[in-house]
């Protein structure tokens, strides 16, 4: 295991942070829309399609964060058994190790957990209407992204919105079909990305 200087730690984290934020934006701009196209033959209501994708994003972050916590505990315990002078603190070494060994993440299990959670979600169509496995590619991308975001210092996370909440222009953009005079969120299209509870990428909502 290599020795890290504080400057190297900051530089490495900043570089990975920039790449992960760029991936988050790409998923929103491209892969989210691809998933919408996949869902439309099964669900004709645009609002329902957008809700499905939003819930998929939220559940993917939840599943990935839980998986990361389990991996982190295991790796941290292993590294703590072999302390070495001059190396990075166990916490930093653990995050670096996980970042370099992405195969530690059982993404297939997380995808399964996400789909199971979506199947029982009260705001989504029942499984008989649409099999959410059709957007498993999107779920996989978000799960992998969310997992890697946990290796940053500080980690990145998403804001989980509540329908009917007051519209917050510092956290969300309004969707083009919104009522721009409305003050409350009808439903969420895409989550905002947070760092230490501060918004670094706005999400999207529909106000009506």
**pLDDT tens across 30-69, in order?**
999 999 999 999 999 999 999 999 999 999 999 999 999 9
Supply the pLDDT for residue 5.
Answer: 54
d(CA 151, CA 140): 18
The domain tally of the chain equals 1
Q: Is residue 48 part of a domain?
A: yes
* Non-local CB neighbours of 159 within 8 Å, separated by 6+ positions: 171, 191, 192, 193, 194, 199, 203
Which residue range(s) make up the domain with 63? 6-155
- Residue 4 CA to residue 17 CA, distance in Å, equals 18
The answer to whether residue 189 is domain-embedded is: no
- Binning pLDDT at 50, 70 and 90, where does residue 1 land? very low
Q: Does any domain span residue 136?
A: yes
Residue at 206 is within a domain = no
Sheet holding 198-201, edge to edge: 156-158, 193-195, 198-201
Domain contains 43: yes
pLDDT band at 7 (very low <50, low <70, confident <90, very high): low
CA-to-CA distance for 72 and 80, rounded, in angstroms?
12
Q: Is residue 191 part of a domain?
A: no
Average pLDDT, the chain: 91
Residue 86 included in any domain: yes
pTM: 0.91
Does residue 146 fall inside a structural domain? yes
């Amino acid at each position: 295991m290599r020795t890290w200087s504080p400057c190297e730690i900051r530089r490495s984290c900043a570089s990975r942070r920039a790449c992960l934020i760029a991936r988050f934006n790409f998923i929103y701009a491209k892969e989210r829309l691809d998933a919408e196209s996949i869902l439309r033959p099964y669900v004709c209501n645009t609002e329902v399609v957008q809700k499905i994708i939003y819930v998929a994003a939220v559940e993917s972050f939840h599943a990935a964060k839980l998986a990361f916590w389990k991996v982190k505990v295991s790796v941290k315990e292993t590294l703590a058994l072999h302390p070495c002078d001059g190396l990075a603190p166990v916490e930093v070494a653990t995050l670096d190790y996980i970042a370099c060994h992405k195969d530690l993440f059982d993404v297939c299990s997380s995808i399964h957990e996400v789909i199971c959670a979506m199947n029982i979600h009260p705001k989504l169509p029942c499984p008989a209407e649409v099999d959410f496995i059709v957007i498993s590619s999107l779920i996989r991308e978000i799960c992998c992204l969310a997992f890697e975001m946990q290796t940053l210092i500080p980690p990145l996370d998403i804001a989980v919105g509540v329908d009917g909440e007051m519209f917050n222009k510092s956290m969300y953009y309004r969707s083009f079909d919104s009522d721009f005079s409305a003050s409350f969120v009808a439903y969420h299209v895409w989550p905002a990305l947070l760092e230490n509870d501060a918004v670094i990428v706005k999400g999207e909502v529909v106000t009506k």
